[in-house]
Amino acid sequence: MRRILLLLLAAAIAAFAAQPVRARHGMVVTRERHATAIGLAVLQSGGNAVDAAVAVGFALAVTHPTAGNIGGGGFMLVRMADGRTTFLDFRERAPGAASRNMYLDAAGKATEDSTIGYRAAGVPGTVRGFEYAAKKYGSKPWAELVRPAVELAAKGFPLSYGTAGSLRGSARGLSRFPESNRIFLRDGKYYEPGETFAQPDLARTLERIARLGAKDFYEGETARLLAQDMKEHGGLITLADLRNYAVVERQPLTGAYRGYTIVTAPPPSSGGVGILQMLGVLEGTGFEKAGAGSATAVHYMAEAMRRYFADRAEHLGDADFVKVPLPSLLDPAYILRLRGSIDPERATASSQVHAGVFAAHESAETTHYTIADGQGNIAAVTYTLNGGYGSRATAAGLGFLLNNEMDDFAPKPGEANMYGLIQGEFNAIQPNKRPLSSMTPTIVLREGKPWLVLGSPGGPTIINSVLEVMVNAIDFGMNVQDAVNWPRFHHQWLPDVLNMEAGYSPDTVALLEKRGYTVKRVGAQGEVAAIRFHDGWLEGAPDPRTEGTAEGH
């Protein structure tokens, strides 16, 4: 028995002694191996990190249909070799005909229209976002970046076990829409692992985009077909909505933690301000002395999470439409007050936690990828359809899935959305407004130089997944792969539940329950893609919770 226990202990230790992929001149970490290979090929042919990010984004639109997209939107955090940083916001926007109560029935109850079907879709931003990035920060011709995705869609690729299973598992929603049923489910003759999956409609759309640029998607043949399909199925997106879509370039948020500089996502992301607030609350508590995986460390981190998500519900929204009180949320005096409200021994009931009062005022199926080149340029991209396979509707004749991003608004302020998040008036639906997001691409600098780059999908769990990997690397001294592999947990204020992955000991769980937590054991949380800069090496860490890969040269 003792020998068996020692073997089990050795296996557990080995699980958290994994090594990252190392390279000198470039690193690509993505969710899917074909996309990773395409990104690496761009770097090897002289492209920079932004070029590779654009090529990877189009490739994932073919090979990872649950989240990769041209029918959705997202964010790109960029740091150039000369130290310039920028944040490209190509988040979807509400159509011009959207209205505050569009998803409420006659009795005032929220309907499923915000999550499934044509009415759930916001105006896509991905294609225009990638073109903006390539023109301003890339170095390769546009067509060269899109062509690999065209070939993947036209010739097909062998489906992985995970993707084949995902398609079959999503049949209930996809089968409701003839185009989705035909393309992704083969009208009920489900694809098997290893079968070649070709998408000729999508290939033709991507070919036009490669040849004509984003103008095709927003003003040309693709725009015309999409607007026509919307009109025929009760959707709200019009040619005018597509033509008027614009990328917004924003200044990243920056902050400090234990001597590191944190560069992260501004609103309409709720993630960056969350990361900075929670790190501020944690610094000075001494939580790290208890060690990774301890009940004390989890307790302090969960309490910081709980307090931030209460603020998120009240104060976060599209900064182009509402005045987000960033200075107040990150004010040292306010953070000190939050830290002081944590009982070292007991969980604070969420009913006792309220958003700060100031004088002024996101799917689990997203995907993130991280790229660094040999010149020192970095691109961290999180983009999404929101829910898995978005609205489950595929644009007729175009081959791409439409997002269901409108559910990231507050269809009914004060009530939970599909992720259980309570959202307030700041995130109410308005025409042309961007919904609040949890996507949190982040760069960590040490002594002014890149040290860690990361991000994750996972709806509201994104913010906490990014926080935990950063803490694992900074406070607990883990290598980047161990930091990504380590089991995660999540608290979002309401519901008042602490979700924990497998990997925490029964003793730790019992201690947390004794402190007053309601613990729920859950499956995989997040899908972090990280790169650490270490002694002249680029260290890539894909997430073992997925089929993610890292390749470098």
Q: How far apart are CA 254 and CA 172, in angstroms?
A: 43
Q: Which amino acid is at 67?
A: A
The CATH code for residues 252-363+439-544 is 1.10.246.130
Q: Which of 6-20, 213-227, 408-422, 472-486 has the lowest mean pLDDT?
A: 6-20
| Of 366, 370, 442, 546, catalytic | 366
Starting at the edge strand that comes first in sequence, how are the strands of the sheet with 498-501 ordered? 489-490, 498-501, 519-522
pLDDT, mean of residues 273-292: 97
> Is the CB of residue 489 less than 8 Å from the CB of residue 302?
yes
pLDDT, tens digit (0-9, with 9 covering 90-100), for 312-340: 988 989 889 988 999 999 999 999 999 99
Q: How far apart are CA 258 and CA 471, in angstroms?
A: 11
CA atoms within 13 A on the CB side of 550: 27
Q: Which residues pair with 378 in a beta bridge?
A: 79, 372
Domain boundaries, the chain: 21-249+371-408, 252-363+439-544
Backbone angles phi, psi at 160, to 5 degrees: -75, 165
Task: Look up residue 186 and give its DSSP letter.
Answer: G
Cα torsion for 494, 498, 502, 506, to the nearest 10°? -160
pLDDT, residue 14, reads: 43
> Is the CB of residue 546 less than 8 Å from the CB of residue 529?
no
pLDDT, tens digit (0-9, with 9 covering 90-100), for 147-196: 999 999 999 999 999 999 999 999 999 999 999 999 999 999 999 999 99
Closest to 461 measured CA to CA, from 538, 547, 366: 366
Q: How far apart are CA 149 and CA 163, in angstroms?
A: 17
Per-residue tokens: 485: 């592999």
> Ramachandran region of residue 418, left (φ > 0), alpha (ψ -120 to 50) or beta?
alpha
- The answer to whether residue 366 is catalytic is yes
Q: What percent of the chain has pLDDT over 90?
A: 89
Query: Under DSSP, is residue 513 helix (H, G, I), strand (E, B) or coil?
Result: helix
- pLDDT, greater one: 405 or 11: 405
> Is the CB of residue 31 less than 8 Å from the CB of residue 546?
yes
Q: How far apart are CA 437 and CA 440, in angstroms?
A: 8
Q: How far apart are CA 57 and CA 35, in angstroms?
A: 8
Q: Model confidence at 362, in pLDDT bands (50, 70, 90)? A: very low
Q: Please, what is the average pLDDT of the chain?
A: 94
Per-residue tokens: 194: 């290893």
Q: Which amino acid is at 481?
A: Q
pLDDT, residue 110, reads: 87
pLDDT, tens digit (0-9, with 9 covering 90-100), for 236-248: 999 999 999 999 9
